[in-house]
Amino acid sequence: MNWGAGKNWQAIRCIPCCIIEMSSGTSRRWWDELSVFRECGHPGRVAGRMPALPGQEVFNQTGPLPSRPAGQRPGVRILQITDLHILANAGETLLGVDTAQSFREVYALARQEDPTPALVLLTGDLAQEPCPASYRRLRAWLEESGWTFHCLPGNHDDPELIASTLALGRIHCQPQVVLDHWQVICLNSAVSGSPRGYLADAQLRLLENCLTACPRHHALIALHHHPVPSGSAWMDTMVLANADELLDLLAGFPQVRLVLSGHVHQALDKQRGTIRLLATPSTCFQFKPYSAQFALDDTAPGYRWLELFEDGTVATAIRRVPTMPQGLDVHSAGY
């Protein structure tokens, strides 16, 4: 699979079963415990917290999950898991953290909280140093759940190795997934040998083709690099370099609702016109928000869940494990 060539991608008509599963009540307990939150302008709330303002994200860590508003028909639930930085060998650590152990704690939380997501997006930096051993370790854990995964590369990854050693069975690297009312488009923003992000012409054309082909589907775009500044000067040297090209293209397609990214190892929630841009914490260590230089934050690892509704609205929140990763050296100066 070559993300850059744009010739191997295909639409996957998928997962009507997720609708069946949700409407048949397999996740009823989940929803019964929830309170209200949605992004479309309706005030939301999370039990025990102040009401969220319209468009505000809920950075809750534990406790009840947000729920759909009364009368809202079930949407498609997906998860985003990002920046795993899996190492090649058991027991290896990065900044003091066993990244595999930390990922598995987040993964276990996600499996406990949502056993039947329609799909899971892995948005890059799946390995710390791309090598077959790292991806094979990850594949073994992913296969435990039986979930459907769609992965894209980050600056620490090797797209060809992902395709050959990770993307097997229910783990995919095709860039387009077409659901009943939404399509998900996964882009490769990685630049070989550089931490910076850039979307090659082939990626932009692929994106344009997907959006043109499905004008009635709401669109979620996923990529590794953040397309708008995070506010951390050092991290924003690695912002998507041609973000203007991306945002200009997206502005021509009113069905685009969401852009999901990783890379920044923290939660972000931005808005550009009608498009919401979200980033998600890493499954290992987090970067301190609004820091001029590299600095670690003392927040726990997590993942993002989203519910995509038929009318184009979205419910989303960050979920975090209850404790910091064991061994984290929060005073590290880099990695």
Query: Cβ neighbours of residue 318 under 8 Å, at least 6 residues apart?
Result: 57, 58, 59, 60, 61, 267, 280, 281, 302, 303, 304
Between 237 and 256, how does the x/- string for binding to Fe ion read (CB under 5 A)?
A: --------------------
Q: Which of the ranges 76-84, 222-230, 271-279, 284-292 carries the binding residues for Fe ion, by CB under 5 A? A: 76-84
Give the C-alpha separation, 263 to 260, whole Å: 11
Give the C-alpha separation, 123 to 84, whole Å: 9
Q: What tokens were used for 95?
A: 């900044």
The nearer residue to Fe ion, 3 or 285, going by C-beta atoms, is: 285
Query: Cβ neighbours of residue 13 under 8 Å, at least 6 residues apart?
Result: 178
Give the C-alpha separation, 282 to 82, whole Å: 5
The nearer residue to Fe ion, 139 or 226, going by C-beta atoms, is: 226
Rounded to a whole number of angstroms, the minimum distance from the CB of residue 12 to Fe ion is: 26
Query: Cβ neighbours of residue 253 under 8 Å, at least 6 residues apart?
Result: 211, 212, 215, 219
Count of residues that interact with Fe ion, criterion CB under 5 A: 2
Q: Does 157 bind Fe ion (CB under 5 A)?
A: no
The nearer residue to Fe ion, 278 or 314, going by C-beta atoms, is: 278
Rounded to a whole number of angstroms, the minimum distance from the CB of residue 263 to Fe ion is: 6
Q: Which of the ranges 101-109, 117-125, 193-201, 227-235 carries the binding residues for Fe ion, by CB under 5 A? A: 117-125
Among positions 83, 105, 114, 157, the unique one binding Fe ion when judged by CB under 5 A: 83
Q: Does 125 bind Fe ion (CB under 5 A)?
A: yes
Q: Which of the ranges 118-126, 145-153, 171-179, 229-237 carries the binding residues for Fe ion, by CB under 5 A? A: 118-126
Q: What tokens were used for 110?
A: 């996600």
Residues of this chain that interact with Fe ion (CB under 5 A) are 83, 125
